[in-house]
Amino acid sequence: MSGRTPYERLIALLDDHDARYRIIEHAPEGRSEEISRIRGNDPAQAMKAIVLSVRGGGLGKRHLMAVIPGNRRLDMKSLLAHAGAQKGRFAPPEIATEMTGCVMGAIPPFSFSDDLALIVDQAFQDWDEIAFNAGRLDRSLMLNFDDYRRIVDPQFTPLSIGP
């Protein structure tokens, strides 16, 4: 799959697994509230992917991708407890881009790297369909949640606080 953009890798993965999705083309946007308005989805069903650096717990420094609803904030204490880490911080934009191949705001809730563990807020299990930027600021996907769960098989835990 090398040589493909993150968007191309994502679409190929979904097609290979017969996922039910639709592509939405739009003006470039990465802010959660704005992109949900443009797509016409509830901000709570928008998957916001955040790359973090964590350390401690005997596992050394490592990176994680936390996926939370677009209308909520990351609960760092919950994330650290789930990951067995003692300290964590948001990865600098250049590290997030290096780990995902995407600019901030365009990161989809998929990890194409064994060095980037994926943890998803359990609140998404209430939705039939999820929305997210698809590796580009001008493309979004609406994806059947059961297909996402089947393809990704993520770890689910409470990760967010907010409304």
Element (H, E) at 37: helix 32-39
Would you state the pLDDT for residue 2? Answer: 60
The residue extents of the domains of the chain are 6-161
pLDDT higher than threshold 60 for residue 1: no
Instruction: Determine if the pTM surpasses 0.85.
Output: yes
6-161, superfamily in CATH?
Answer: YbaK/aminoacyl-tRNA synthetase-associated domain (3.90.960.10)
**Residue 96's pLDDT is what?**
95
Report pLDDT digits (tens) over 115-141. 999 999 999 999 999 999 999 999 999
